Structure 1
Amino acid sequence: MTNKFFIKNPIQIIFVTIIVSSILILLLLGTIRLEEKIEKKMLDISTYDVISITKNSAKLIENLLKFSHNYPEDIKQDKSLQKKIENSLEILPTKNIKYAYLLYRDYKGVFRFLADASSPNEKAIVNQKFDVDNKKWFDIYEKKEIQVIEHDVLHELSVTYLIPIFYKNEVKLILAIDFSIKKVADINNIIGLMKNAILGIIVITLIFLIILIIQTIKYLAVKKTAYVDNLTKVYNRNYLKELEDFINLNDYILATLDIDYFKKINDTYGHDIGDNILKEIANTISLSIRNSNDIIIRYGGEEFVLLVKISRDEPLAALNVIERVFTNIQEKKFYINKKDYIDVTVSIGINIVPYKSKNFSDAFKLADIALYNAKNKGRNTIEIYDENEDINNKCLSINEIKEAMDDNRIICYYQEIVDSKTLEISHYEALLRIVTKDGLIITPDKILPVIKGTFILRNITKCVLDICFKRLLVDDKIKINVNLNPQDITNDSILNILKSYATKENIANRLGLEVIENEDIMILNDAKENLLMLKNLGYKIFIDDFGSGYSNFIYLTEIKTDCIKIDGSIIKKILVDDVSYLLVKSIVAFAKEANIKIIAEYVCSKEIFEKVEVLGIEYCQGYYFSKPSAFEEE
Structure 2
Amino acid sequence: MKTTQINKSLIIIGESDLAYAETLVNCLTEQGYPNVAIAQDGHSIYQLLRPHYRQPEKVGALLVNENLPACQFHELCLSLACTPDAYAVPITILGTMRQSALAMQLGKQYEISQLNGMIHFLSQPVQLNELLSALRFQLAIKHERQQRLVNEALLSSELAERKVIDAKLKYLIAHDELTGLLNRQSFERHIATLIKRNQKLPKNGALLYLDIDRFSLINELEGYETGDRLLIEAVTQLRSFVTKANYLARIGSDEFCLYLDNVSQHDVRQFAESVRRALDDFKFFVENVVYNATISVGMAYLNSDKPIRHPSELIARARQACRLAKENGRNMCWEYNDNDSVLSKRHSDAYWTPLIRRALLESKFLLLYQPVVDLIQERISHYEVLLRMIGDDAGDIIGPAEFIPVAERMGLIHHVDAWVVENAIDFLATLPDFMGHVSLAVNLSSYAFQDQTLLTTIKDKLESTWVDPRRLMFEITETSAVDNFEQTRNMIVKIRALGCKFALDDFGAGFCSFSYLKKFPVDFIKIDGQFIQNLVDDETDQVLVKSIVEIAAKLGKKTIAEYVENAALVRKLQDIGIDLAQGYFFGSPSRTLQPSSTISIEALILNEHINYRGILNPFMR
Please indicate the TM-score interval, normalised by the length of the shorter structure. Answer: 0.3 to 0.5
Q: When the two structures are superposed, what TM-score results if normalisation uses the length of structure 1?
A: 0.43
Q: When the two structures are superposed, what TM-score results if normalisation uses the length of structure 2?
A: 0.44
